[in-house]
A and B are shown apart, each in its own frame.
Chain A
């Protein structure tokens, strides 16, 4: 077992106290002896950017142009990579780019655009230019097809423009053109949960299922076209796959294999890894859903093994196991082809600790999970934690510090995490930036569980 050193701020009084890049450690009653806690956040320069009002070539496009500007400006803000200047002095409107003026206005980057008709249909062509104000030069330009306003893919297409801009500046693609699936209490209902999806900017919340039952643990397929989830609609929990193109679902795992929970896709999209409870043998299994074959057990035993999820290359998976005690579930990592499970969450005998909901980021060696090491009495106060499997030092970064926080899921940018949060003022789904700690509400005043962040969706025809 690895000895854990936690460099996260589980019990720090204030995030701001250590947010300046330092490492602070503090111990309080209820912590694991010998384990240090602190918060490490990058003290990175955040460049200011301005979105110049677009030039319009078609009469009557004023509202459309303004809407696209607003979507992009908001995406750039939510990307947590820019300081978006949203109030521009009047003299900057129109005309060519005067770098000296923009520099006076203290922006490093300037985005301009021209909205033209699209010969291929009723949509528009948006030609955007990203100007480097500091160097006084054009940095990048590209033309994007924007479908007709009000069409299902309009907003996703605009989000894709924002993601490209993030990529030009940072070299890392943004995650605006994505959606988040939730297991949520339907509006007006007093029980049950149904599948909902919402765009990454909190717009466009819509219902997917009418099962009149309980759904849980939805996850996106790697191609973003299907969602695997658990539903009780047959009376017992079983895994289904919802096809976003047809709106239909099907049972994924043949009957007679116990109660199935917590599905997750292999990066190849053909294999489902999931948990079986309530039948022998129980444990963690894989099943090839393309060929409908090859049920294989990877983990077993009398204890619970839940929430498996693959590493980006599919060679390992993280999961929850209660092998150290029912009241102290822990997070483990092990090779998919066989081998022993290694403890990832911090554990010391007798100190308690409850760690659950592991989620391996889609493109890095980081695993997020929820939990806490306070005693039993303070239970149900979990925080979102991140461990880096590759570093091996079990440094743990804590991303939340108020209320209760569960069910983390990584964005495809390997930087943002969506999670379920409970606050004194209500419950909802939040997004936290792991680099800055900045947190925003995605959907508020809803009873939602198990949010899962999609892969990049623009251009794949997912309806909206």
Chain B
């Protein structure tokens, strides 16, 4: 990379220098290399080019780090937001839910500014009012799991929608199993994730 303006200036300088010479005396020995002026100009151009290359490299590096951080934040966010599921009429933490909660636990320890809302849900079976209570019990049992490992309970809030917000339609076990869940919503500190 070179700066055309600098090169032009150098050419003009050379041209003027040439134009100002008197009638040719016996020609001196032909120049065998660049003039000192040319060398100086090249040195400046090279220095500028390398500084610019370094700046670009640093920018690319920062973009890569940012990308990585965003990707890490995205993964952390996905881990935090991953739902956990429950057995019929139960609010106990299942073993598959336990590993998901432990993954969240680590992140929540690393990022103490992150706040979350646990949203409890029930499948359509059972009466609607009791299902609101059951959904809340599920949300609270998730919070209890996390605070049981020493996390501060004020970081979490719960709300239950009972059977009102299913994610799977249908009156079969496959749909019901999807709907007996706690969803996780990050309510604060999401910007700190990945830092």
In whole angstroms, what is the CA distance A307 to B132 when docked? 12
Please give, as numbers and ranges, the residues of chain A lying within 8 Å of B132 by CB-CB distance.
Answer: 216, 237, 261, 277
- CB atoms of B134 and A326 under 8 A apart: yes
Task: Count chain A CB atoms within 10 A of each CB in B89, B132, B161 and give the residue with the most.
Answer: B132
Nearest Cβ on chain A to B175's Cβ, whole angstroms: 13
In whole angstroms, what is the CA distance A216 to B125 when docked? 16
Is B11 engaged at the interface, CB distance under 8 Å to the other chain? Answer: no
In whole angstroms, what is the CA distance A398 to B134 when docked? 26
- CB atoms of A326 and B137 under 8 A apart: yes
Nearest Cβ on chain B to A63's Cβ, whole angstroms: 42
Please give, as numbers and ranges, the residues of chain B lying within 8 Å of A376 by CB-CB distance.
Answer: 88-89
Please name the residue on chain A nearest to B162 by beta carbon.
A216
- CB atoms of A326 and B91 under 8 A apart: yes
Once A326-B89, A326-B137 are accepted as A-B contacts, the answer to whether A306 and B159 lie under 8 Å apart by CB is no
In whole angstroms, what is the CA distance A382 to B130 when docked? 14
- CB atoms of A356 and B161 under 8 A apart: no
Please give, as numbers and ranges, the residues of chain B lying within 8 Å of A320 by CB-CB distance.
Answer: 129-130
In whole angstroms, what is the CA distance A326 to B128 when docked? 15
Please name the residue on chain A nearest to B87 by beta carbon.
A327
- CB atoms of B127 and A370 under 8 A apart: yes
In whole angstroms, what is the CA distance A450 to B132 when docked? 13
Q: Which of B142-188 contact A (CB under 8 A)?
A: 158-162, 164-165
Once A214-B164, A278-B159, A326-B91 are accepted as A-B contacts, the answer to whether A259 and B128 lie under 8 Å apart by CB is no
Please give, as numbers and ranges, the residues of chain B lying within 8 Å of A326 by CB-CB distance.
Answer: 89-91, 134, 137
Please give, as numbers and ranges, the residues of chain A lying within 8 Å of B160 by CB-CB distance.
Answer: 237, 259, 277-278
In whole angstroms, what is the CA distance A196 to B165 when docked? 20
Nearest Cβ on chain B to A179's Cβ, whole angstroms: 21
- CB atoms of B164 and A304 under 8 A apart: no
In whole angstroms, what is the CA distance A407 to B130 when docked? 11
Please give, as numbers and ranges, the residues of chain A lying within 8 Å of B164 by CB-CB distance.
Answer: 191-193, 214
Contact size class for A? Answer: 35 or more
Please give, as numbers and ranges, the residues of chain A lying within 8 Å of B127 by CB-CB distance.
Answer: 356-357, 370, 382, 406-407
- CB atoms of A380 and B158 under 8 A apart: no
B-contact bits for A383-409, CB 8 A (1 contact / 0 none): 000000000000000000000001100
- CB atoms of B124 and A306 under 8 A apart: no
Please give, as numbers and ranges, the residues of chain B lying within 8 Å of A329 by CB-CB distance.
Answer: 130
- CB atoms of A379 and B126 under 8 A apart: yes
Nearest Cβ on chain B to A238's Cβ, whole angstroms: 11
Is B133 engaged at the interface, CB distance under 8 Å to the other chain? Answer: yes
Is A114 engaged at the interface, CB distance under 8 Å to the other chain? Answer: no
In whole angstroms, what is the CA distance A322 to B90 when docked? 12
Q: Of B129, B137, B158, which is within 8 A of A261 by CB?
A: B129
Nearest Cβ on chain B to A255's Cβ, whole angstroms: 14
In whole angstroms, what is the CA distance A376 to B125 when docked? 11
Q: Of B91, B129, B130, B159, which is within 8 A of A236 by CB?
A: B159
Please give, as numbers and ranges, the residues of chain B lying within 8 Å of A261 by CB-CB distance.
Answer: 129, 132-133
Please give, as numbers and ranges, the residues of chain B lying within 8 Å of A449 by CB-CB distance.
Answer: 128
Nearest Cβ on chain A to B191's Cβ, whole angstroms: 22
Please give, as numbers and ranges, the residues of chain B lying within 8 Å of A370 by CB-CB distance.
Answer: 127
Q: Of B128, B133, B139, B161, which is within 8 A of A322 by CB?
A: B133
Please give, as numbers and ranges, the residues of chain B lying within 8 Å of A275 by CB-CB distance.
Answer: 133
In whole angstroms, what is the CA distance A261 to B160 when docked? 11
Binding site for A on B (CB under 8 A): 88-91, 124-130, 132-134, 136-137, 139-140, 158-162, 164-165
**What are 14 A-B contacts with C-beta separation under 8 Å?**
A192-B164, A216-B128, A235-B159, A259-B136, A275-B133, A278-B160, A306-B130, A322-B133, A327-B88, A356-B126, A356-B130, A357-B130, A379-B125, A407-B127
Given A237-B160, A326-B134, A354-B89, 19 extra CB contacts under 8 A: A191-B165, A214-B161, A216-B132, A216-B162, A232-B161, A235-B159, A236-B159, A259-B136, A277-B160, A278-B136, A306-B130, A307-B129, A320-B130, A327-B90, A357-B130, A376-B88, A379-B88, A379-B125, A407-B127
Q: Which 4 A-B pairs have the closest CB atoms?
A: A380-B125, A327-B89, A356-B127, A304-B133
